[in-house]
Amino acid sequence: MKDLIILPSKQNPDLQFIASTGELSIAGQSLPENVVLLYDSVLNWVDEYSNNPAPKTVLTFKMRYYNTATSRMFFSLIKKMNNMFKNGKSVEIHWFYQKDDEDMLDAGEYFRDLVDLPFKFIAIE
């Protein structure tokens, strides 16, 4: 399976989804004009990946900012990870946030409370 790499722009995050290692990362900010256009490829990639995932999958969020439309896409992605977890796969979410950014921490905790898979919260100085 091919990796999914989407380089960042002013409005799009850095997406690095590495199939062989199970390291999936979204970083930066996400304010795309067409959120579906950007994240449909991500969700489709995860659908294919979930058929034969790496022994351990870690989805890392290192976001500075994202809009409401992106939030819905993130939840769709997290639900797909949750389904993998419920099917016995090793899956974790790593949610990075600036130590003084309570809103970003709250957002991660909100997602965590909606699913069953483990979340790890990492504060950045």
The pLDDT tens digits for 84-98 are 999 999 999 999 999
pTM of the predicted model, to two decimals? 0.95
Query: pLDDT band for position 75 (50/70/90)?
Result: very high
The values of phi and psi at residue 50, to 5°, are: -65, -15
Q: Residue 88 belongs to what H/E stretch?
A: none
Domain count along the chain: 1
Question: Per the structure block, which two tokens stand in for 17?
Answer: 């989804």
d(CA 59, CA 43): 13
Q: Is 121 left (phi over 0), alpha (psi -120 to 50) or beta?
A: beta
User: What angle (nearest 5°) sits at the alpha carbon of residue 105, between those of residues 100 and 111?
Assistant: 170
**CA terminus-to-terminus distance, the chain:** 36
Range of the domain at 39: 4-124
CB 13 within 8 A of CB 63: yes
The pLDDT tens digits for 18-49 are 999 999 999 999 999 899 999 999 999 999 99
Here the CATH number for the domain that contains residue 79 is 3.30.750.24
